[in-house]
């Protein structure tokens, strides 16, 4: 058989931090490890985006932009990869195109090589501006579709969206299984079809939450997948990715041999294990297999947060009713996937539907916005009666939501006059205005942040 080495992205500095230690990993702990990682020969190392940006300024008193520059210095030979929520960047709402374009430009200039944009609704129009800007900057665009299970999510739908992304000029295609729901034989079928349909390499992202991660990768590899996401063993399994070393060992001596040095990986894993000890208080999720996720589809991080909030509100005894309500709300909202920020929208609405004693007695601002089309086109049709009730006579929109958002850059610049002129700072402020101002103040006074232990409710 012809050699077809599988390439590996290690998620150690992004998804691992987010899935296992509430996104608290500090730059100072990454730097010595990064120097060693640079010798491994990974396809890429994921080190930015998702919740890391928010966490930097909210909890760690770190400049997220400095993180890119410092890691780049330690990993000059390794491609640095980020995950980006399409038009929402690393925030939770859609931003105007002028902010999105500047954000991607600055991320590229500071050192990001591969951008993985995804959209919670898989509305490809929400990825367009990011992909076009990545291409303009000469960087690598990895168009992404989220994997979820519903009556409308067929392989045909994935192939159709993947083709739309290819038309936008992506360099790589990623299937992102953020909850660990992708079963091995399904992965094999999907990858086979993707390989026949697309001309670009296929990158698969899964989580080991359900215990299927490594098996899913193996079947995907046999079906021709080009790149997989793993993490060094101390952060592996459970809510994170399968272990890098195990996959490297599994493939050794086969046509899929990664060529990575196991002794070097074992050595780095020792350092990572030591480093992880510092974050014991932030360790989240179950270490082992969570079979419930196959039933509820609710990502581990979202579930633990929901339980904590219900306990606080003395409503934990209603959990099972809420778990039954979640799939019903999801159906009403067009079978959107449970990923940031739609996971929050569904969970909050389902909770209100149960706790108020009447379905949709209270409709949240976010549910209404989703029904209005403000997040884009949902994968399936929304419940028309609910839409009518929520919109109260207003018509839904059908265009790309950002087409209706006016430019903001000049206004943001004006608001920061006298505080900072750095474009990176203006972007930080555009994303998290209140926290950013506090952060700039602390940065200038070199104070340490208040210690907070609240967990973030984000999907990895």
Residues in Cβ contact with 189 at an 8 Å cutoff, skipping those fewer than 6 apart: 155, 223
Site string for Co ion, 308-337 (x = CB under 5 A): ------------------------------
Q: Counting every residue, how long is the chain?
A: 460
Q: Which residues of 331-357 are buried (b: 16+ CB within 10 A; e: fewer)?
A: bbbbbbbbbbbbbbbbbbbbbbbbeee
Comparison of 339 and 427: residue with beta carbon closer to Co ion: 339
Comparison of 300 and 401: residue with beta carbon closer to Co ion: 300
Comparison of 78 and 209: residue with beta carbon closer to Co ion: 209
- Which of these segments, 8-16, 105-113, 353-361, 390-398, binds Co ion (CB under 5 A)? 8-16
Q: Does 213 bind Co ion (CB under 5 A)?
A: no
- Which of these segments, 61-69, 119-127, 163-171, 177-185, binds Co ion (CB under 5 A)? 177-185
Burial class of 159 by CB neighbour count within 10 A (0 to 12, 13 to 18, 19+):
middle
Best CA proximity match to 151, nearest among 393, 389, 407, 331: 331
Burial class of 50 by CB neighbour count within 10 A (0 to 12, 13 to 18, 19+):
buried
Give the total of residues touching Co ion (CB under 5 A).
3
- Which of these segments, 15-23, 338-346, 354-362, 401-409, binds Co ion (CB under 5 A)? 15-23
Q: Does 86 bind Co ion (CB under 5 A)?
A: no
Residue with nearest beta carbon to Co ion: 460
Comparison of 110 and 230: residue with beta carbon closer to Co ion: 230
Comparison of 86 and 373: residue with beta carbon closer to Co ion: 86
Minimum Å gap between C-beta 144 and Co ion is 11
Residues in Cβ contact with 123 at an 8 Å cutoff, skipping those fewer than 6 apart: 375, 376, 377, 400
Q: Does 15 bind Co ion (CB under 5 A)?
A: yes
Q: Does 460 bind Co ion (CB under 5 A)?
A: yes
Comparison of 15 and 425: residue with beta carbon closer to Co ion: 15
Minimum Å gap between C-beta 49 and Co ion is 11
Minimum Å gap between C-beta 148 and Co ion is 13
Residues in Cβ contact with 51 at an 8 Å cutoff, skipping those fewer than 6 apart: 18, 23, 90, 340, 456, 458
The CA distance from 146 to 166, in Å, is 16
Q: How far, in Å, are 92, 149, 224 from residue 343 at the CA level?
A: 12, 14, 31
Minimum Å gap between C-beta 458 and Co ion is 10
Comparison of 176 and 368: residue with beta carbon closer to Co ion: 176
Minimum Å gap between C-beta 269 and Co ion is 20
* Site residues for Co ion per CB under 5 A: 15, 178, 460
């Amino acid at each position: 058989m012809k050699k077809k080495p599988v390439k590996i992205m290690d998620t150690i500095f992004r998804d691992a931090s987010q899935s296992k230690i509430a996104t608290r990993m500090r730059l100072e702990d990454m730097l010595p490890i990064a120097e060693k990682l640079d010798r491994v020969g990974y396809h890429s190392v994921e080190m930015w985006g998702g919740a890391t940006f928010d966490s930097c300024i909210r909890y760690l008193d770190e400049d997220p932009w400095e993180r890119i520059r410092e890691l780049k210095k330690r990993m000059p030979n390794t491609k640095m990869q980020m995950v980006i929520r399409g038009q929402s960047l690393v925030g939770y709402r859609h931003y105007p195109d002028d902010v999105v374009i500047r954000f991607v430009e600055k991320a590229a200039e500071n050192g990001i090589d591969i951008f993985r944009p995804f959209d919670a609704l898989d509305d490809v129009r929400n990825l367009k501006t990011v992909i076009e800007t990545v291409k303009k900057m000469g960087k690598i665009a990895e168009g992404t579709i989220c994997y979820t299970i519903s009556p409308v999510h067929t392989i045909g739908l994935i192939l159709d969206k993947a083709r739309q992304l290819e038309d936008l000029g992506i360099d790589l295609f990623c299937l992102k299984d953020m909850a660990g729901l992708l079963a091995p034989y399904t992965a094999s079928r999907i990858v086979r079809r993707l390989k026949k349909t697309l001309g670009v390499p296929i990158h698969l992202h899964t989580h080991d939450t359900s215990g299927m991660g490594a098996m899913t990768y193996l079947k995907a590899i046999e079906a021709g997948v080009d790149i997989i996401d793993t993490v060094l063993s101390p952060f592996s399994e459970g809510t994170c990715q399968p272990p890098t070393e195990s996959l490297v060992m599994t493939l050794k001596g086969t046509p899929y041999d990664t060529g990575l040095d196991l002794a070097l990986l074992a050595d780095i894993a020792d350092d990572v294990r030591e480093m992880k000890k510092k974050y014991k208080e932030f360790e989240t999720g179950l270490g082992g297999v969570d079979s419930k996720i196959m039933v509820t589809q609710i990502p581990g991080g979202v579930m633990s947060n929901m339980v904590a909030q219900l306990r606080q509100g003395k409503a934990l005894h209603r959990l099972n009713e809420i778990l039954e309500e979640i799939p019903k709300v999801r159906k009403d909202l067009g079978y959107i996937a449970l990923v940031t920020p739609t996971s929050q929208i569904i969970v909050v609405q389902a909770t209100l539907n149960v706790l108020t004693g009447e379905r949709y007695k209270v409709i949240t601002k976010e549910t209404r916005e989703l029904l209005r089309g403000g997040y884009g086109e949902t994968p399936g049709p929304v419940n028309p009666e609910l839409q009518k009730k929520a919109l109260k006579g207003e018509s839904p929109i059908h265009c790309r939501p950002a087409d209706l958002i006016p430019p903001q850059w000049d206004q943001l610049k004006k608001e920061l006059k006298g505080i900072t002129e750095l474009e990176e700072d203006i972007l930080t402020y555009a994303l998290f205005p209140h926290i950013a101002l506090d952060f700039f103040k602390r940065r200038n006074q070199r104070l340490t942040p208040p210690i907070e232990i609240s967990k973030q409710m984000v999907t990895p």
